[in-house]
Amino acid sequence: MPQVALALGDKLVITAPHLEDLLQALQQRGFTLIGPTLHQGDLVYDELASVADLPRGWTDEQEAGVFRLKPREDQVFFGFAMGQHSWKAFLLPPRTKLWQAERQGHGFEIVPNQAETPKFAFIGVRPCDLHAIAVQDRVLLEGLYVDPFYQARRRSAFIVAVNCTRAGGTCFCASMGTGPQATSGFDLALTEILHGPEHYFLVEVGSNQGAEVLQEVPHKPATAAVQLQAENMVQETAAHMGRRLDTVGIKELLYRHYDHPRWEEVASRCLTCGNCTLVCPTCFCHAIEDVTDLSGQQAERWRRWDVCFNVDHSYIHGGSIRPSAKARYRQWLTHKLATWIDQFGCLGCVGCGRCITWCPVGIDITAEVRAIRESEKKE
């Protein structure tokens, strides 16, 4: 193993069999590995014991309202885009206990939830999802108040990104400036290259901890040719992306069109099921729930993901602020692409395409925005 210490920005090569060494090095440091794996015929993010759990040799076929897993001709590890899960399930879990309370006489005592923070290493984070994590950082860590649960999980997480060498069917990251190349927000970033009999990863070091971990994995310097090949593969991915979303002046565009007839039209298709919000890697809305045990002596406060497509989401005494599907769809889309900019200084959409794939009626956010934009040209 080379003695030279690795530094930020270094690019190295590890061969495919040594991916297992990387995972083991992370496990030895106490990380629980979370990555893509097959579960009951579906592609999910879950705990990995070794590289054997990765969906090697599988790919995905995605279109609006369509997701199919298919075997590949080759044996690449990361030959698919993504499933319906996003990493937010591990950083901002669907359900979190905030505290519990015990009745004492006329009053009660509050006990904070001091459960140990899991230490996750995320394996195979796509560039769009790196951006999604950065977006949630802004929302949950950089505002007036900080979410201490998210903060604890986020701080201890190790991120192994994987650059995209194939565009998924509903991806539009290239037009959002969020991919297909990982540029920041990772500890290590891999590009998987299968070239004839050669199967290896180009690895970019993104943090000191990343450098330390990689030091423990057999590696060699990356030649210029390898780096060029990886760049070409990623550029090729960008060039073959089927969808795009034009974000020029998008906030102003949508602010001008709160009364656009398109909202009514999309509402006639939308089932208000909320799938799009659950698969969205940036959606952060959560409901607060107070519960008691049967004796009424113990109470707990939980939060769980909430969905702005529910009538309850905007309920105040007397009724809902947004009773119509039109208003709820408009709230979701304008939040992602307009008001989010005013709230957090960035877009709330990273172009991962999950909301398109997992919409049961195939509503396409890029098509909805295009319809509104093009109606302006006709005027």
Partner 1 sequence: MVPNAPVPRPHPANPAVPMLTQPFQIRRVRQETPDTFTLALQPAWGAAPFCFLPGQFNMLYAFGVGEVPISISGDPANTQTLVHTIRAVGTVTRAIQKLKPGQVLGVRGPFGSHWPVAEAAGHDMVIVVGGLGLAPLRPAIYQILAHRAEYGNFELIVGARTPGDLLYYKELEQWRGRFDFRVHVAVDSAGPEWRNNVGVVTTLIPRARFDPWHTTALVCGPGVMMRFTVQELLQRGIKPENIYVSMERNMQCGIGLCGHCQLGPYFICKDGPVFAFDQIEKWFALREI
Pick the piece of the chain touching partner 1 (CB under 8 A) from 165-173, 206-214, 220-228, 327-335: 327-335
3-state helix vs strand vs coil in the chain, percent to 5: 35, 25, 40
Identify residues 331-350 at the interface with partner 1 (CB under 8 A): 331, 335, 338-339, 342-343
Q: Are the C-beta atoms of 339 and 308 separated by less than 8 Å?
A: no
Identify residues 227-256 at the interface with partner 1 (CB under 8 A): 255
DSSP string over 49-115: SSGGGS-TTEEEEEETTEEEEEE-SS--SS-S---S--THHHHS-SEEEEEEEEEETTEEEEEE--P
Considering the rule CB under 8 A, would residue 93 count as an interface residue with partner 1? no
> C-beta of 27: minimal distance to partner 1 in Å?
32
Considering the rule CB under 8 A, would residue 285 count as an interface residue with partner 1? yes
* Residue 181 CB neighbour total at 10 angstroms: 21
Find out whether the peptide bond into 197 is cis, omega within 30 degrees of 0: no
Considering the rule CB under 8 A, would residue 270 count as an interface residue with partner 1? no
Considering the rule CB under 8 A, would residue 112 count as an interface residue with partner 1? yes
Q: Which of these, 150, 301, 173, lies nearest to 243 by C-alpha position?
A: 173
Q: Are the C-beta atoms of 324 and 302 separated by less than 8 Å?
A: no
| Interface pick for partner 1 out of 9, 41, 71, 107 (rule CB under 8 A) | 107
| Interface pick for partner 1 out of 1, 40, 52, 109 (rule CB under 8 A) | 109
> C-beta of 336: minimal distance to partner 1 in Å?
12
Q: Which residue, chain included where needed, has tokens 């040719």?
A: 225
Q: Are the C-beta atoms of 174 and 238 separated by less than 8 Å?
A: yes
Considering the rule CB under 8 A, would residue 8 count as an interface residue with partner 1? no
Considering the rule CB under 8 A, would residue 115 count as an interface residue with partner 1? no
Residues lying near partner 1 in the complex (CB under 8 A) are found at 98-99, 101, 103, 106-110, 112, 139-140, 143-148, 255, 258, 284-288, 290-292, 296, 299, 301, 303, 306, 308, 313-318, 321-324, 326-327, 331, 335, 338-339, 342-343
